[in-house]
């Protein structure tokens, strides 16, 4: 077992070794800035704020910020011209990619995982907001954990929203979109339309009797039943009503 003096000596040696390894070398990084709208891209404070954060981070951690690439677009896909150009420069004139937050790259944990596996095993991914530096194993671990938690949060929100919509639907509350056939929208609630409900019942009856959708549309037209647009029901519309 090492004595306290020996432990301190070993710690000092490790620190010295790390310092010597870094001395004379500065990571060359490209700053990537993404804004979601044209307005932000042209006038928004988001651009300036992101740029200032990247410059301050680079100065603090002795990173050579060789370029700032600005792109307007959605994070739904990583197949964006600006991002792909930056990724292609890794190993050429840059050693790493610097962003304000991971969602500037992508909001998909699957896409983020693929980026890490493809590019950031060999090159650095640096995030100001999450304090991530994948130049170390610990940094890569934190990145994976944060990405998983972010994905979990989005899925939980989606589940809650879906449950709320289903509950509203069960109470005949309007949940958005076109008012379904057979109902009228009254003060935010769905109220049965007697005339349309009669058509729905006839469609169900004729379908049970084995009539085709084309035949049912013809029978309804002959009986004088018309759709909301004032036209005869098409076979496709009959199929939708019967669903």
Phi, psi (5° rounding) for residue 126? Answer: -120, 125
CB 27 within 8 A of CB 135: yes
CA–CA separation, 225 and 87 (whole Å): 61
**Residue 131, Ramachandran bin (φ over 0: left; ψ between -120 and 50: alpha; else beta):** left
User: Given 3, 36, 127, 217, which residue is catalytic?
Assistant: 36
Element (H, E) at 19: helix 4-22
Please give the DSSP secondary-structure letter assigned to residue 37.
S
Q: What is the dihedral of CA 114, 120, 126, 129, to 10 degrees?
A: 20
Q: How many Cα atoms sit within 13 Å of 177 on the Cβ side?
A: 7
Helices (H) and strands (E) in the chain, counts: 9, 7
CB 144 within 8 A of CB 114: no
Active site residue 189: no
CB 183 within 8 A of CB 190: yes
CA–CA separation, 54 and 243 (whole Å): 54
Radius of gyration of the chain (CA): 30
CB 93 within 8 A of CB 57: no
The catalytic residues are 36
């Amino acid at each position: 077992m090492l004595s306290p003096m020996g432990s301190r000596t070993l710690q000092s040696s490790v620190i010295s070794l790390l310092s010597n390894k870094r001395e004379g070398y500065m990571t060359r990084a490209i700053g990537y800035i993404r804004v979601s709208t044209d307005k932000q891209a042209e006038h928004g404070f988001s651009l300036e704020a992101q740029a200032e954060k990247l410059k301050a981070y680079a100065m603090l951690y002795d990173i050579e910020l060789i370029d700032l690439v600005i792109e307007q677009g959605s994070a739904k896909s990583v197949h964006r011209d600006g991002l792909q150009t930056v990724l292609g420069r890794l190993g050429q004139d840059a050693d790493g990619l610097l962003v304000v937050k991971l969602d500037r790259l992508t909001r998909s944990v699957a896409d983020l995982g693929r980026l890490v596996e493809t590019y950031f095993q060999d090159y650095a991914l640096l995030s100001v907001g999450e304090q991530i530096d994948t130049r170390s194993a610990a940094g890569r671990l934190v990145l994976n954990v944060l990405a998983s938690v972010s994905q979990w949060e989005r899925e939980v929100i989606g589940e809650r929203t879906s449950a709320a919509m289903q509950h509203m639907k069960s109470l005949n509350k309007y949940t958005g979109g076109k008012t379904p056939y057979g109902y009228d929208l009254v003060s935010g609630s769905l109220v049965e339309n007697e005339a349309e409900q009669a058509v729905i019942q006839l469609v169900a009856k004729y379908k049970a009797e084995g009539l085709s959708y084309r035949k049912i549309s013809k029978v309804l037209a002959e009986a004088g039943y018309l759709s909301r647009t004032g036209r005869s029901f098409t076979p496709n519309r009959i199929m939708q009503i019967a669903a």
